[in-house]
Structure 1
Amino acid sequence: MFTPPEDLADAEVAAALIWGWDLDVEGIMHAPVGFGSHHWWVRDASGRRWFATADDLRTRRRHHDEPLDAPFARLRAALATAASLHGAGLRWVVAPVRSDDGSVVLRLHESFALALHPGVEGDTFGWGPYEDAAHRDAVVNRLVELHAMEGCRDDVMEDDLTVPLADELRTHLDDPGPRWGAGPFAADAWELVRDHADTVRALLDRYDALVAGADRTRFVLTHGEPHRGNTMVTPDDGVVLVDWDTVLLAPPERDLWRVVGEDPAIRGRYEGGTGVALDDALLEAHALRWDLADVAVYVRDLHAPHVDDEDTRTAWAGLRAAVTATR
């Protein structure tokens, strides 16, 4: 997230790193990167850099009243799988460092979960299509390797193929109620949801139809979000993937819809290298799911009490772009 959390201070994060990982914290600074988790750059007394991530479990609920233990369990399963993959020799998996008691993530208060990663030196990238074909091809090679992994499945959860918060989104689409007024973007969001309700509802129905016949015997280990912003190019390991909090056993199309959309030739390369034929319906479904999940999160955030900050401005711009685009 771009804005530091109001209910989690830097000092509390530092104290948790000292207690959980016995890290001799010399400095800590919130890093305004990404959208979804909170991040901090950390420096220990030896000068080594670390990267701490705190996830607000309240924002990871799949429905509004889901107990917070459920998103915590999903996060722990994903990060434990990443740690197993790295331990199995996939050095390009930037996995969390286990705490002193062997945990990959620690609970902070009731609402946050903290993970610690080693600082990685290399080139970073922003959101958007891959600008370099060699970079994209290297990521596809990583995905081929990941999808071929038969082990490291002790902790991983299986994708249920639903859109998070879809039930709440459908409720707003069916009846947005009186004009929203809990924040500076609420009224405009209400109007957008009201005016585009039929379109978004039809897309939700389309997604459900596309995944209805998914063959679960095809499921493989997937990263979930291997876009350009979740990659780095490092001196020692070449292209590495970060942000493994979305790992699931899922259709291979979950990792491939975006890169195939950027370069259709990748489909043939992947199919030739793996012997797995990609499913057109699932490629479309996962592209659609990405947009619908964003819409659901943005509607939740802008319907709730909020202020005008970089995060809510990003949510409003994202909602407007998503619901007015045609697929």
Structure 2
Amino acid sequence: MRDRPDDFDEELLRPALNDWGIEAATLDYAPVGFGDFHWIATGAGGRRWFVTVADVRRQSYDGLRLAMETAAALREEAGLAFVVAPLRAADGSTLRRLDRHRYAMSVFPYERGTGGDFGDELPPAERGRVIDLLAELHATPPPLSTPDRPVALTGRAGLEQALGDPVLPWLGGPYSEPAQDLIARHAGMLRRRLAEFDRLAARPGEPVLTHGEPHPGNLLRAGERRLLIDWDTVGMAARERDLWLVARDEDDLARYTKATGRAVDRELLGLYRLRWALNDVAEFVEWFRSPHGRTADAEQSWEALTGTLEQLAR
């Protein structure tokens, strides 16, 4: 996130880092990603760690704990070198509560590399390398901690409520009224897209171990190494949950099939592409119906909402 959480005491991080044996000389906020908050902790000797603070009202603490445990097991036990996994604290845990209800922290190794952004177009050779990583991941036996990732839309109830009650005003902040008007203008299209989603979701596909968000924003290029970060959504689902974000042509699909012996279902690619867009709309609706200000994150959310609706309307 670009904006720091305004209700979070950064000094909570220092004593929590002691559980990992880390005495931070400096803590620098890192305005990267979208959803979680990040800091770079630097020790007295110059060693650095990447610290992630998650709002566990968005994803349950137990659900996030299972995801972190799964990522750690993939690195430690399955030997997947491309997994940037959380480090274990002295008690063996990968996630630590920072307060009673809202925030939890994980600590990661600081990896030097070049990252990308969601929406970047990778060249064919780079896509091939990511497809090879996904083929290896999908063939890996899932750790016991691996959560299921149902195809259902996580924010559907809130989106349908917004579509069903277009009159009651949204009062969360400066983007509430324009967002409500925008959703009202696209209400018919959104209902048709929800019906299309239901039709496609009737056959969810064979579950394998998936990353969930292997887009360029979660890919680090470190020399010849390629690393996948952000394992919050790791879980069992159809292989197409990952592939729609990477594959762009028949050569990509053929490469995956050659590596795995499994054909790619094009309807399921469409299902997960549609699911991503509808989940984004639902998340932004929740954002703009809730208290917010005119911040960099709110502006980014507004631009993403308008762009996603334009994409869905095509």
Query: What TM-score results when the alignment is normalised by the length of structure 2?
Result: 0.95
Report SS of the residue matched to 2:246.
Answer: helix
Q: Distance in 2 between matches of 1:265 and 1:54?
A: 39
Report SS of the residue matched to 1:204.
Answer: helix
Within a 5 Å distance, the mapping from 1:77-88 to structure 2 comes to: 77-87=66-76, 88=78
CA offset at residue 104 of structure 1? Answer: 0.9
Q: Which runs of 4+ in 1 moved over 6 A?
A: none
CA offset at residue 125 of structure 1? Answer: 1.7
Within a 5 Å distance, the mapping from 1:1-327 to structure 2 comes to: 1-18=1-18, 20-60=19-59, 71-87=60-76, 88-109=78-99, 110-150=101-141, 152-215=142-205, 218-235=206-223, 238-260=225-247, 262-325=248-311, 326-327=313-314
Q: Distance in 2 between matches of 1:16 and 1:316?
A: 34
CA offset at residue 319 of structure 1? Answer: 1.0
Report SS of the residue matched to 1:181.
Answer: coil
State the match for 1:65 in structure 2. none
Letter in 2 for 1:313: E
Kindly indicate whether the alpha-carbon contact (under 8 Å) linking 2:14 and 2:23 is maintained by their aligned counterparts in 1.
no
Report SS of the residue matched to 1:89.
Answer: coil
Kindly indicate whether the alpha-carbon contact (under 8 Å) linking 2:84 and 2:229 is maintained by their aligned counterparts in 1.
yes
Report SS of the residue matched to 1:42.
Answer: strand
Report SS of the residue matched to 2:245.
Answer: helix
Unaligned runs of 5+ in 2: none
Count of residues in correspondence between the two structures: 311
Q: Distance in 2 between matches of 1:131 and 1:284?
A: 20
Q: Distance in 2 between matches of 1:252 and 1:123?
A: 26
CA offset at residue 258 of structure 1? Answer: 2.1
Letter in 2 for 1:32: P
Report SS of the residue matched to 1:59.
Answer: coil
159-168 or 170-179, which deviates more:
170-179
**Identical counterparts, % of pairs:** 38
Q: Distance in 1 between matches of 2:219 and 2:82?
A: 10
Q: Distance in 2 between matches of 1:162 and 1:156?
A: 18
Kindly indicate whether the alpha-carbon contact (under 8 Å) linking 2:163 and 2:184 is maintained by their aligned counterparts in 1.
yes
Q: Distance in 2 between matches of 1:322 and 1:126?
A: 16
Kindly indicate whether the alpha-carbon contact (under 8 Å) linking 1:135 and 1:239 is maintained by their aligned counterparts in 2.
no
Query: What TM-score results when the alignment is normalised by the length of structure 1?
Result: 0.92
CA offset at residue 195 of structure 1? Answer: 1.1
CA offset at residue 194 of structure 1? Answer: 1.0
Q: Distance in 1 between matches of 2:58 and 2:293?
A: 16
State the match for 1:66 in structure 2. none
CA offset at residue 130 of structure 1? Answer: 3.1
Kindly indicate whether the alpha-carbon contact (under 8 Å) linking 2:170 and 2:289 is maintained by their aligned counterparts in 1.
yes
Kindly indicate whether the alpha-carbon contact (under 8 Å) linking 2:98 and 2:104 is maintained by their aligned counterparts in 1.
yes
Report SS of the residue matched to 1:86.
Answer: helix
Kindly indicate whether the alpha-carbon contact (under 8 Å) linking 1:82 and 1:247 is maintained by their aligned counterparts in 2.
yes
State the match for 1:63 in structure 2. none
Letter in 2 for 1:258: L
Q: Distance in 2 between matches of 1:95 and 1:107?
A: 18
Unaligned runs of 5+ in 1: 61-70
Letter in 1 for 2:236: L
